Chain A
Amino acid sequence: MNLTYTILIPLIPLAVFLLLGIFNQKIKPSVSGYVGVFGLSISTILSLYTAYQYFFVSGKVNGVYQTFVEKTVWMNFTETLRIDMGVLLDPIAVMMLIVVSVVSLMVHIYSRGYMKEDEGYTKFFAFLSLFSFSMYGLVLATNLFQIYIFWELVGVSSYLLIGYYYTKDSAVAAAKKAFIVTRFADLGFLIGILIIGYYTGTYDFETLNNPEGNAILHWASNSFMGLSVITWALILIFVGGAGKSAMFPLHIWLPDAMEGPTPVSALIHAATMVVAGVYLVARMFPMYYFVEDSFTLHIVAYVGAFSSLFAAVIAITQTDIKRVLAYSTMSQLGYMMFALGVSGYEGHEGVGYMASMFHLFTHAMFKALLFLGAGSVIHAVHSNYLEDMGGLRKYMPITHITFLIATLAIAGVPPFAGFWSKDEILVAAFEQNTLIYVIGVFVAGLTAFYMFRIYFGIFWGKETAYEHTPHESPQSMTFPLIVLALLSIVGGFIPFSEFVTANKVGFEAHLNYPLAAIAIGVALIGIILAWVFYKKENDLADRFAKGFGVLYKWTANKFYVDELYLFITKKILFKRVATPIAKFEKKYVDGTMRGIGSKTVLTSEKIKGMQSGRVQDYAFAFIMGVVIIALIFIYIWTN
């Protein structure tokens, strides 16, 4: 397969970024929007063409999807260890190309309407392009170091875009928080990479992932504190992934990241960047699976399941619709994680892996749609809060219908996309781990409940007294909504198991009817409960909240995880480490040096009296000197 043109997919957004970034002041805003959309359209066309070529023309040899790699040396560490830059095509990389391209293109188009009056319009498109470039680079990475490089770059694009409204203090704080929390997680990632590089002598995915390779067979037996060194590395790498994918307890940055413009939340914090952690585990799946009997995968599964439950519970009580969606994203990411965690490797055993990637794909579509729909609503009512909304279905028909489609999709109602992928995940969990299966089903019910809660709250219920009558958003914004809605309807019918599997051999997945029935039933219960509580104005919800008392309070306050972090950083790291160090520096380290200085001055003060300028003193000293020297000589001479 000829790969030369795929390198253009990331390079075009990079060129757009440089163009818009350097000539920021000189380009007219209207032009910059077109440049951004145009650049990404080309990347999208190339991505779709690549996908067609890969999946249907030349990707498969003897029923197995091949991995194509093209790379060049970027930097040498030693004779064997180096960082390469290049592109790697395999089923998940190609699938991610489509996800990133489609969502990014839709967000670009949408932003032309949404950001229209913003003074930083050109800058916004520059940052979007920078992000798209970094995300493509991450997806196409051929080795651990390359993925780390682009991992950091998507992190910084996210930082810049969260802090886009940089005159707002809350946005600045949120941007900083996102960067530092993920940076902390990346520390684990980096140490994991260093361990792998040291023991296996390579960063290349192809070599590392080979089930018969050294990394898996040989080094996995080299143990440290009861676990193999490679397991340690995989755990640390997962920490990095958990940071990006907002897994508990590293999730605290994601809800705050909603300070960014809504299209950014749709692109970065719902569809693409946050799935990087899931993608990373999938990318290294053979290692996760084969090293020490999938020890690390169990951790992945439990962390994912817990995060998914934790976030779903919090989502119920939030009133900022973007925050509800943020927690929902975290919950769905947990779904993808535990699907990987319960997955096997070959054939139907590997259904979890396939389902995770499938869910990643469908989730990207409907979650981006939800965010863009929420953006359309926020654009109309100028508020993020549920209490400022209600009855909007009359004013915004397109937003309403598309939002409903996305809500049905995420709730897992057939035939919408989310149902199919979620069902496969539950099948995988059911076959491997009953506890996780139960959590998964329960979370599915919660998801249906909280999503319909905000759906009813926004589009039904009592109308708020609006200052300006809300109206439907312009075409540039509704067009992406419609496209994504269509994808959320048909996305579920893609026979994913034929294309994306752990061992790259397709298999046929069947609908498991009893399990599907349970899932649908739970979802319907959730929807009906939401209908009872929120369809019409009533105080049922408030009474329930009172009934739950402490539990409600803890949930509404997000279980005080943020406060715990604040305590650790402000009270311990700042007060107990940084401040004492600054004091220690002044008082002791610098103090000692100054002490030496002042002692010298003091000594010279004491002896300077000798230079009195009186001749008789000097004469006296002279004679004394002669006498002493004479005495010494006599002493030496006599002995």
Chain B
Amino acid sequence: MDILSLFLTVPIITVLVLFFTKGLQQIRLVSMMGSIIQLGMAIHLIFAYFNERAVNDSIMVFTKDIIWFKHLNIHYAIGVDGISVALLLLTAIVVLAGVFISWKIKDLPKEFFISLLVLSIGVYGFFISLDLFTMFVFFEIAVIPMYLLIGIWGSGPKEYSAMKLTLMLMGASAVLLVGILGIYFNSNADGGALTFNILEIAQVNIPVEAQKLFFPLTFIGFAVIGALFPFHTWSPDGHASAPTAVSMLHAGVLMKLGGYGVFRVAMYLLPEGTMHWSWIFIILSVIGVIYGAFAAIKQTDLKYINAYSSVSHLGLVLFALLMLNKTSWNGAILQSLSHGFMTALFFALIGMIYERTLTRNVTKLGGLLKVIPFISVVYVIGGLASLGLPGLSGFVAEMNIFVGAFQHEDMFYRVATIISVSAIVVTAVYILRVVGIMLMGPVKNNEFLSLSRVTWYEKTGILLLLIPIVGIGVAPLWLSDMILKSVQPFIEGVL
């Protein structure tokens, strides 16, 4: 079997084995082993990719193509470039961290871990697909378990949130499907056969009118899950109600499908549509960046703060993609990775704080640095990464975005860029506000003095996420060069 298909078979086998496990201990062990193997494969893939890239400079490597449904020319077509391997690694790390964080889950553990792994199948499949239809199927596989995960294991108004999240994402999927079909039915414009294959469609000159029609549909379809303003409202409620590991996976990985889909499908296949519509989406993404940051200032629930922070950070991803040059695109991918690690880390920490103090309301917390130092210190580091401190991953991503965005001399772009850049100040405000209220200051509640220390599985989960944040921040060269090279053919395809 080829190396990429393993990313689908390993979780499937893990799920199958999980069906036959008995007792919490076995369930944990199997899930953990399965996720460790995934992570091992993802790391191996990075090295394999570098070796392959040295001798092979086609856009996608490790490609494979099997006909799946002949009449509509649907294939199981897979392949990766530097961008997908990086995102696969992100997924593998977040999944494993999520398993560790969910170590203590009590209700229906077997079903929980199965849903979690099914979700990861969808994500892996999405990142390796080169066929639009298969990609869409995997997209849905990733989105649907969400409903169960929030509805069953969530907290607070979980039915409402689960419904809201699923309906909004489904609505977006419907729009996306129209967009994809629109692309499909125009893929014979140059006289060839109808195809779903991304690389083949890219060679076709889709009529400009069709591009203008289908670009907004495809873009919005993907961007809703990437928290495009004003379609982001599913995210705060959804994340607040979701159990910790699900928030981690959803904000850390699933939201990245949006940006990924936007440049791989919407922009790459519909370049003229991109040019025609980009201004309106630039405005929306810039609003998202600054709006999310300001909205985060006023929240009191830690999860809401993090959710609005995500709106701001992911707004930056869409903004960077719309800036249409390779530096900004590199920044967009790096920001996706960086945000993935950071936000998963935040949700993990918030979960731990909630488990101990039974509240997520910052105004009720205080002085945690004294009582749970490990969690608090990591929270500070995460916060500093989020506000773009050099030496941590956020800085690397943001600087690529800003330098890239600054390549446009046009006044409209300049103003948009400067507004986005100024979000770094607002970000500092809401991050330091939380750090100041929640972690520093006198211990607010005497019950906090007896909070339990961090456990080994929590520590492992945290470190898994923290190491890449610091690693990317300190030595970004290999990663950023890898992505920069892979971005090149795509940006050339658009321009």
- Chain A contacts to B: CB under 8 angstroms: 73-78, 81, 83, 145, 148-150, 152-153, 156, 163, 166-167, 169, 172-173, 175-176, 179-180, 183-184, 187, 190-191, 194-195, 197-198, 574, 577-579, 581-582, 585, 589-590, 592-594, 597
Contact = CB atoms under 8 A, between A and B. Distances in A.
Q: Name the residue in B298, B389, B418, B424 with the highest tally of chain A Cβ atoms < 10 Å from its Cβ.
A: B298
B148 to A, nearest CB: 20
The 9 A-B residue pairs with the shortest CB-CB distance, nearest first, are A149-B390, A582-B298, A166-B440, A590-B233, A578-B297, A172-B440, A194-B406, A581-B294, A183-B428
A156 B435 CA distance: 13
Nearest to B298: A582
B384 interface: yes
Nearest to B327: A77
A198 B428 contact: no
A403 to B, nearest CB: 33
21 contacts: A73-B477, A75-B396, A75-B399, A76-B480, A77-B400, A81-B403, A83-B399, A148-B390, A167-B442, A169-B442, A176-B436, A180-B425, A180-B432, A194-B402, A195-B406, A197-B403, A197-B406, A582-B298, A589-B232, A589-B233, A593-B168
A163 B440 contact: yes
Nearest to A153: B390
Given A167-B367, A582-B299, A187 B477 contact: no
Contacts of B299: 582
B302 to A, nearest CB: 15
Contacts of A75: 396, 399-400, 476-477, 480
Interface string B403-434: 11011000000000110011011001100110
Contacts of B239: none
B481 interface: yes
Given A163-B440, A194-B406, A581-B294, 4 more contacts: A83-B399, A152-B389, A167-B370, A581-B291
B421 A191 contact: yes
B295 interface: yes
A589 B327 CA distance: 32
B391 interface: yes
A74 B395 CA distance: 13
Nearest to B233: A590
A180 to B, nearest CB: 6
B230 A592 contact: yes
Contacts of A194: 402-403, 406, 417, 421
Given A75-B477, A190-B421, A590-B233, A180 B428 contact: yes
A153 B392 CA distance: 11
A194 B328 CA distance: 13
Interface of B: 164, 167-168, 229-234, 291, 294-295, 297-299, 326-327, 367, 369-370, 384, 387, 389-391, 395-396, 399-400, 402-404, 406-407, 417-418, 421-422, 424-425, 428-429, 432-433, 436, 439-443, 476-477, 480-481, 484
Given A169-B442, A180-B425, A76 B477 contact: yes
Contacts of A149: 390-391, 395
A77 B424 CA distance: 20
B432 A166 contact: no
B441 A167 contact: yes
A74 B477 contact: yes
A77 B476 CA distance: 11
Contacts of B404: 77
B456 to A, nearest CB: 16
A184 B425 contact: yes
Contact of A74 (B402, B436, B476): B476
A166 B297 contact: no
B297 A76 contact: no
Majority SS of interface residues in chain B?
helix
Nearest to A177: B432
Contacts of B294: 577-578, 581-582
A175 B428 CA distance: 12
B391 A198 contact: no
A173 B436 contact: yes
A183 B406 contact: no
Contacts of B229: 589
Contacts of B326: 78
Given A77-B327, A77-B403, A152-B390, A166 B476 contact: no
Q: Name the residue in B417, B440, B480 with the highest tally of chain A Cβ atoms < 10 Å from its Cβ.
A: B440
A317 B429 CA distance: 32
A179 B435 CA distance: 13
A422 B268 CA distance: 63
Contact of A167 (B395, B406, B440, B484): B440
B428 A179 contact: yes
Nearest to B437: A172
Contacts of A578: 294-295, 297-298
A276 to B, nearest CB: 15
A139 to B, nearest CB: 16
Contacts of A74: 476-477
Contacts of B367: 167
Q: Name the residue in B229, B297, B369, B370 with the highest tally of chain A Cβ atoms < 10 Å from its Cβ.
A: B297
Given A75-B477, A77-B403, A166-B369, A581 B298 contact: yes
Nearest to B432: A176
Given A76-B484, A78-B327, A582 B295 contact: yes
Contact of A187 (B168, B387, B424, B429): B424
A73 B477 CA distance: 8
Contacts of B439: 166
Nearest to A577: B294
Contacts of A585: 233, 291, 295
Contacts of A169: 441-442
Given A149-B390, A592-B230, A597 B167 contact: yes
A592 B440 CA distance: 38
Nearest to B396: A75
A190 B420 CA distance: 12
B297 A179 contact: no
B297 A589 contact: no
Nearest to B388: A152
Nearest to A146: B390
Contacts of B432: 176, 179-180
Contacts of B481: 76
Contact of B418 (A179, A191, A198): A191
B233 A579 contact: no
A274 to B, nearest CB: 20
Contacts of B387: 183
Given A152-B390, A578-B294, A581-B294, A190 B402 contact: yes
B424 to A, nearest CB: 6
A593 B480 contact: no
A593 B233 contact: yes
A150 B391 CA distance: 9
A77 B433 CA distance: 33
Contacts of B443: 167
Contacts of B327: 77-78, 81
A632 to B, nearest CB: 28
B403 A187 contact: no
A163 B435 CA distance: 11
Nearest to B370: A167
Q: Name the residue in B391, B404, B432 with the highest tally of chain A Cβ atoms < 10 Å from its Cβ.
A: B432
A79 to B, nearest CB: 10
A183 B232 CA distance: 28
A74 B422 CA distance: 25
A582 B298 CA distance: 7
Nearest to B428: A183
A183 B406 CA distance: 20
A572 to B, nearest CB: 12
Contacts of A195: 406
A610 B83 CA distance: 52
Q: Name the residue in A77, A183, A184 with the highest tally of chain B Cβ atoms < 10 Å from its Cβ.
A: A77
A582 B305 CA distance: 11
A582 B311 CA distance: 13
Contacts of A179: 428, 432
